[in-house]
């Protein structure tokens, strides 16, 4: 079983060092960073955690998915890793 330090190191290694240049909106950057920090999350969780409306958040998620920055699987969103 991995120690807490090993889990933190593994998590940190998957976090991008910089934000994608294609993200201009501060809200889009916030949503992106939130998803990067989560294993999986839903639209409702994002809205609750960041105090955003679905009307604001859903178009941001669509843009993140279309840019291959975030993956959507059913109702869940997750970090897609570094785009190629």
Tell me the mean pLDDT in the region 15-31.
Answer: 89
Helix (H, G, I), strand (E, B) or coil at 55: helix
- Specify whether the CB–CB gap between 78 and 38 falls below 8 A: yes
Ordered by where they begin, the domains of the chain are 26-79 (1.10.10.10)
Q: What is the distance between the alpha carbons of residues 1 and 49, in angstroms, rounded to a whole number?
A: 30
Q: What pLDDT band is residue 57 in, cutting at 50, 70 and 90?
A: very high
The predicted pLDDT at position 16 comes to: 73
Tell me the mean pLDDT in the region 33-50.
Answer: 95
pTM value is 0.78
Residue 73's φ and ψ, nearest 5 degrees, are -130, 100
Residue 69 has pLDDT above 50, yes or no: yes
């Amino acid at each position: 079983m991995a120690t807490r330090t090993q889990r933190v190191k593994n998590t940190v290694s998957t976090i991008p060092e910089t934000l994608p240049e294609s993200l201009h909106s501060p809200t889009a950057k916030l949503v992106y960073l939130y998803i990067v920090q989560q294993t999986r999350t839903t639209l409702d969780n994002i809205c609750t955690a960041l105090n955003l409306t679905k009307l604001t958040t859903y178009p941001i998620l669509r843009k993140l998915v279309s840019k291959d920055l975030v993956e959507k699987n059913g109702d869940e969103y997750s970090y897609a890793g570094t785009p190629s």
